[in-house]
Amino acid sequence: MKPHWDIFCVVVDNYGDIGVTWRLARQLQAEHDVQVRLWVDDLQPFARLCPDTDPHADQQFHHGVQVRRWPAEWEATEVADVVIGAFACKLPPPYIDAMAARARPCLWLNLEYLSAEDWVVGCHALPSLQSNRLQKFFFFPGFVPGTGGLLRESGLLAQRDALQGDREAQREFLARLGVERQPEAHLVSLFAYENAAVAEWLDAMATGLGATQLLVPEGRVLDDVRRWLGAEWLEAGDLHVRGQLTINVLPFISQDQYDRLLWCCDFNAVRGEDSFIRAQWAARPMLWHIYPQEEDAHIVKLDAWLHLYTRALSPQAADALRGLMHAWSRGEGMGLAWPVLCLHRVELRLQAEQWCANLAVQPDLAAALVQFYRNWI
């Protein structure tokens, strides 16, 4: 019989949590011959990522995955063979009681947030004995051996290479999003949280030496772009030109479409965790808007990743990228940091390609989870 997996997701940051768990659920179902239930406490954001979703249904199937509404009042249900609590979410107490009472033990995993910090390797896959005698294992995604790896579907990089090598296919894809690529323009995507640095960055692109075309899917950062333009409203399909900068507003797009958008662009500004990982698989230079935390704890995480990512760069290119990332996180300084970064475009592109190739040698997250389960039983 196929093993049953339950994945529990509390939607905290709009699309990040559900984005990761939905990709994981789909890949486990499609590539590893398991049955997956995805429990989600808020189906409205999920419906944006998966347009066929009924946000009011208690139970539905998409891509072979059973998607269940996580009710406030839990109803008894059969416990799965593998139970994943995503990002430290607390499982329903009655479900945990049922896990403890199960005749055949189940594997309980806490899927942690992604981090490049050194301590992750030492903590990955460690068990924690709970008060009810259950063991919970902490599973850390990561960038280096000794961690759980990153989400990467089978064939993803081959699909990317095919699109990046076919200018006509790129043109057709962008046209479906309402975009006509400007000749010789540097194509940039922007998906970020609200940021005071947006205006400075747009100023720098508008007054730059070369043409830039900025693609902005509908999302939280769009208000910052609107204010910079002095527009009363922005919506999908809008096009604005100021100096050397052309701005296209895109509709909110599915995960698969977003992957392809990243593949088409020369530079990608991304946020959170899900789009951050996908930008690395795009093998293009990038700007990461890491989720802000109290006492600037996010800067420690940012610097840990930059330490790994910039090791093969020249000191000048590494400083330029680090300066841009910090300016973006501080909310100021993009006007100076962006022109400096642009001096190193060729080196940064080669580095992005090599970084992606190095990551792809490691097992992907879904495969690592399945292997951990097989070793556990």
pLDDT tens digits for range 65-85: 999 999 999 999 999 999 999
In the chain, the N- to C-terminal Cα span, in Å, equals 14
Catalytic residue among 6, 81, 224, 273, which?
273
Question: How far is Cα 7 from Cα 322, in angstroms, rounded to an integer?
Answer: 36
How far apart (Å, rounded) are the C-alpha atoms in residues 219 and 242? 21
pLDDT digits (tens, 9 = 90+) for 240-260: 999 999 999 999 999 999 999
d(CA 367, CA 187): 34
Beta bridge partners of 85: 8, 110
For the chain, residues classed under CATH 3.40.50.2000 are 156-360
Query: What is the mean pLDDT of the segment spanning 310-332?
Result: 97
**Fold of the 156-360 domain:** Rossmann fold (3.40.50)
Query: Looking at 198-212, 290-304, 343-357, which range is the least confident one?
Result: 290-304
Would you say residue 180 has pLDDT above 70? yes
Q: Is the pLDDT of residue 95 over 90?
A: yes
Give the whole-angstrom CA distance, residue 53 versus residue 114: 27
* pLDDT above 90 for 291: no
- Alpha carbon separation from 353 to 58, 198, 348 (Å, rounded): 43, 27, 9
Average the pLDDT over 268-290 and give the result: 96
d(CA 39, CA 32): 19
For residue 45, pLDDT beyond 90: no
Quick one: which of 181, 171, 233 has its CA closest to 212? 181
pTM of the model: 0.95
At 13, is the pLDDT very low, low, confident or very high (cuts 50, 70, 90)?
A: low
Q: Is the dihedral of CA 352, 225, 319, 295 positive or negative?
A: negative
What's residue 76's pLDDT? Answer: 92
Bridge partners, residue 36, by sequence: 5
Pairing of strands 135-139, 212-217: unpaired
Instruction: Say what the pLDDT of residue 266 is.
Output: 98
What's the average model confidence in pLDDT over 208-230?
Answer: 96
**pLDDT at residue 199 greater than cutoff 90:** yes
For residue 31, indicate whether it is catalytic.
no
Residue carrying structure tokens 């076919």: 166
pLDDT confidence of residue 296: 78
Comparing 40-49, 307-316, 318-327, which segment has the lowest mean pLDDT? Answer: 40-49
Question: Running DSSP on this structure, what letter comes out for residue 39?
Answer: E
Residue 308 has pLDDT above 80, yes or no: yes
Cβ proximity of 302 and 325 under 8 Å: yes
Confidence at residue 247, expressed as pLDDT on a 0 to 100 scale: 98
pLDDT at 14: 61
Asked whether the CA dihedral 356, 361, 363, 366 is positive or negative, the reply is positive
What's phi and psi for 52, nearest 5 deg? Answer: -80, -5
Query: What's the whole-number mean pLDDT along residues 342-356?
Result: 98
**How far is CA 296 from each of CA 85, 122, 290, 337, rounded to the nearest angstrom?**
26, 23, 11, 20
* pLDDT given for residue 15 in this prediction: 75
Which segment of 47-51, 58-62, 308-312 scores lowest on mean pLDDT?
Answer: 47-51
Which CATH number among 3.80.10, 3.40.50, 3.20.20, 1.10.3680 corresponds to the domain 4-150+362-376?
Answer: 3.40.50
User: Is 319 a catalytic site residue?
Assistant: no
Confidence grade of residue 152 (pLDDT, cut at 50, 70, 90) = very high
C-beta separation of 308 from 147 below 8 A: no
166-173: Cβ within 8 A, 24+ apart: 170/263, 170/264, 173/260, 173/261, 173/264
